[in-house]
Amino acid sequence: MKATCWMGKKHVEVRDVPDPQILNQTDAIVRITSTAICGSDLHLYNGFVQPMMKGDVLGHEFMGEVVEVGRRVQTLKVGDRVVVPFTIACGNCWQCRHDNWSLCENSNPNGALAEKALGHAASGAFGYSHLTGGFAGGQAEFARVPFADVGPLKIENGFSDEQVLFLSDILPTGYMGAEMCDITPGDTVAVWGCGPVGLFAIMSAYLLGAERVIAIDRLDYRLEMARKCRAETVNYETVESVSETLIEMTAGRGPDACIDAVGLEAHGHGPAYLYDRTKQAVGLETDRPIALREAITACRNGGTISVIGVYGGLVDKFPLGTIMNRSLTIKAGQCHVHRYMRPLLERIQNREIDPTLVITHRLPLSDAAKGYDIFLNKEDNCEKVVLHT
């Protein structure tokens, strides 16, 4: 089959690789019809999330048709159309039973490696480095899906691929980012990053009752998309201080909750950005927490910071004193996708949310390398690239 392979830093290639096989009798093989490139794929592309090996198949947002099932698969059959969550979960362990699917204790075969890096292991994930199990991803013609009775969501009712594809990651991720803010009526929520996850966080914050959402980015076309989602916007390159601007916009108090939908490759300007870029480049910190620091500083006393941007390791100049003295709460997590797929499918069905709004580019799978390049360089007002097979 054809698959998008990581071949080194800033180098992906669509190559011929062996077809996936059923390895466990609870696996299914899915013929992929649509897949997407995610902002977190760019962290792999840029070499920030490790370890990767030459030839690893990328992609964790995909859907398609079941073409083979193991003997013990009970709920899926050949011909079913499914969206596959990016995290892999067994459905039986303590964390799965507590609805914390991205923390599944049974799905990451490289748990020992993750424990060394993180203290405890998180779940397996498709196409997302060997720290999450080294599973082959879905920017390919076929994928092996473990625990097929647990993860994949069957799609009926004639939805198009593009309407439901993002249930695999970015829609639930944005939604969970807003949910972690514990929004009450009248709240103002600020969202750093107007990429696809940021946009879904904005839409979700309104769905969950926010009165105002303020979005922060530097790219005008992305801020324009945020305004289409009813957000007020701040271009951080045009203001002296984002925190001060937000405090001013909220009558001196600061936003009730702040969502970091940026993560470890944050941009910025001035000495702080230079500091983080340099330290990251020489390996003295792994992540650039520029958006996170701003979110913490801007948040009102007693407010919540919700972190859904991806971080890999260690950050510098983390304002713990601010968090402690101002009673801030930080919530974070890789999305527990399984928890949100069904309720969000209902919201799509009820036309409360239209995931297709974020798509700007559609390419054939064979052009995946071009897709990575366009997305990385934000060419042609790129927001989200979907690959069709």
- Interface residues with Zn ion (CB under 5 A)? 38, 40, 89-90, 93, 96, 104, 106, 169
Contacts 24+ apart (CB under 8 A), 358-364: 358/166, 358/170, 358/196, 358/199, 358/200, 358/225, 358/383, 358/384, 359/162, 359/383, 359/384, 359/386, 360/384, 360/385, 361/385, 361/386, 362/386, 362/387, 362/388, 363/387, 363/388, 364/388, 364/389
In terms of CB distance, is 39 or 255 closer to Zn ion?
A: 39
In terms of CB distance, is 90 or 183 closer to Zn ion?
A: 90
CB of 61 to Zn ion, least distance (A): 5
* Residue showing the smallest CB distance to Zn ion in the complex: 38
In terms of CB distance, is 89 or 307 closer to Zn ion?
A: 89
Q: Which residues of 176-196 are buried (b: 16+ CB within 10 A; e: fewer)?
A: bbbbbbebeeebbbbbbbbbb
In terms of CB distance, is 90 or 353 closer to Zn ion?
A: 90
CB of 315 to Zn ion, least distance (A): 21
CB of 103 to Zn ion, least distance (A): 8
In terms of CB distance, is 69 or 88 closer to Zn ion?
A: 88
CB of 321 to Zn ion, least distance (A): 33
In terms of CB distance, is 49 or 96 closer to Zn ion?
A: 96
CB of 110 to Zn ion, least distance (A): 15
Cα→Cα distances 149→29, 30, 127, 237, 341, Å: 12, 13, 20, 47, 14
Residues 121/108, Cβ–Cβ less than 8 Å: yes
**Phi and psi angles of residue 199, each rounded to the nearest 5 degrees, phi first:** -65, -40
CB of 305 to Zn ion, least distance (A): 21
CB of 91 to Zn ion, least distance (A): 6
In terms of CB distance, is 34 or 106 closer to Zn ion?
A: 106
In terms of CB distance, is 296 or 353 closer to Zn ion?
A: 353
CA–CA distance, 352 with 370 (Å, rounded to integer): 33
In terms of CB distance, is 89 or 229 closer to Zn ion?
A: 89
CB of 44 to Zn ion, least distance (A): 11
In terms of CB distance, is 88 or 190 closer to Zn ion?
A: 88
| SS3 assignment, position 350 | coil
The neighbouring-strand residues paired with 62 are 35, 84
CB of 298 to Zn ion, least distance (A): 26
Helices (H) and strands (E) in the chain, counts: 13, 18
CB of 338 to Zn ion, least distance (A): 10
Residues 231/211, Cβ–Cβ less than 8 Å: no
271's CB contacts (< 8 A; 6+ apart) are none
Which residue reads 């075969």 in tokens?
A: 109
| Alpha helices by DSSP H, the chain | 39-45, 94-97, 111-118, 161-164, 170-179, 196-207, 220-228, 242-249, 270-281, 290-298, 320-325, 337-349, 368-376
For the chain, the C-alpha Rg in angstroms (whole number) is 20
